[in-house]
Amino acid sequence: MKPCKTVSGILILLAVSIGLLLASGCGGPIQRSLTMAPLDKRVRTFPRKITIDRIDVVDVRPKCEFEELTPDFKYVLFLGIWYQHLREGTIRPEGELYSMDPTGEMRQLLQTSFQKAKLTKAGKDSAKLNLKVELHHLYGITHASEFLMVAYGGGQGSNTKTTSTMGRRTFAPYGYASARIVLSDQNGKTIGSRYVIGQFDPNLADLLGVSANPIAAGMMTDSLTGAAVTAAGNLAGNIVRAVEVMVSNYPQTRPLDTRACSTFYIKRTTDNGLFSEVAAINIDSGEIVSDTIQRRWMEPYSAPNEWVVDIYHGGQQRLTDEQYRKLVNRLLKKGYDVRFVTDLNNAHFFGKKGANKTRGGSGFVSSN
């Protein structure tokens, strides 16, 4: 047996093993653009007589968020013929890979989102509003651990053997984005402000139209930057929804007369909070016209399984405060048990007074 030949063989195998373990693709990482973010198809609004005259985006992300994070070595053992190491920790790409121009690209992404949602309507009598967006966070992140062991197995001459064991475990990639928004009029008066978040969650990939397992499609870094860009698209959609709430009292292009509509809607969240059930009810007979369950796309509006009168009127449009009040008063006159319990924007619905029949224990009707 030639010791130098054996040692060189171990070193070659060790180098190859480490290279295979750490490599997640070939070539350099992809430079992403926020303008390529997939937009949430669930964002549907009703036009208001407003225009977003100016969108100002300010990048206020902390400096530490631009730094790349990689797994750390937990331990390394080298005992001549035996090598072993364990690396474990967070993986997060450097911040510049998400966007070369985050403020400009985020502004363009928001303009596209408002256009597709059709919330604004240009006209002579349209109010001109300004939107300020402070980008607080934007990143893709995951956790990984990797294990490698190389051992010289003994033997004589050409029969010497070297064995290796390697393994890697990587969690699903997540993307996160958040911003503080302030909506104001031309005189600088604040109409409303919100802190809005966006995310890439593999469990929601089918709704967002993206791959649920992007790691299998390319490099780890590209997977995480892609998750961050998808989160930016989700953030843009949520900003449109937040602005819709702020401008709910501005005139509609085609106002809905809640005093004449024949159907009203109630909704509730499921036990796990992921889904929303919306039921349409004939206002005169109390019969259920339709009942659908879908992914909950907006912030929680009540405790699970508590029915409320839908201020979005089945997704057709968001009612103004006056329209909602008139609808609730009409339901009260029709004999429905409707009460404002904790939120003036969500009147709890307990069914028709004096009725005993219930629907699945949900409280469509009550015996009060």
Which of 98, 92, 95, 94 has its CA nearest to residue 36? 98
Check residue 107 and give its pLDDT: 96
Which of 217, 57, 211, 192 has its CA nearest to residue 136? 57
Check residue 125 and give its pLDDT: 78
Give me Rg for the CA atoms of the chain.
Answer: 28
Those residues whose C-beta lies under 8 Å from the C-beta of residue 206, and which sit 6 or more positions away, are 212
Under 8 Å between Cβ of 191 and 247: yes
CA distance 292 to 311: 16
Check residue 348 and give its pLDDT: 92
Under 8 Å between Cβ of 222 and 30: yes
Other Cβ atoms less than 10 A from the Cβ of 312: the count is: 18
Under 8 Å between Cβ of 296 and 267: no
Check residue 358 and give its pLDDT: 44
pTM here is 0.69
Q: State both tokens at 305.
A: 């399984």
- Phi, psi (rounded to 5 degrees) for 76: -135, 125
* Series of mean pLDDT values for 10-residue runs along the chain (368 residues): 48 48 57 86 74 94 90 72 77 90 95 87 84 96 82 59 72 90 93 92 57 52 88 92 84 67 88 83 88 75 86 75 87 91 85 61 41
Under 8 Å between Cβ of 299 and 343: no
Q: What DSSP designation does 367 have?
A: -
Which of 317, 314, 264, 324 has its CA nearest to residue 294? 314
Those residues whose C-beta lies under 8 Å from the C-beta of residue 217, and which sit 6 or more positions away, are 211, 223
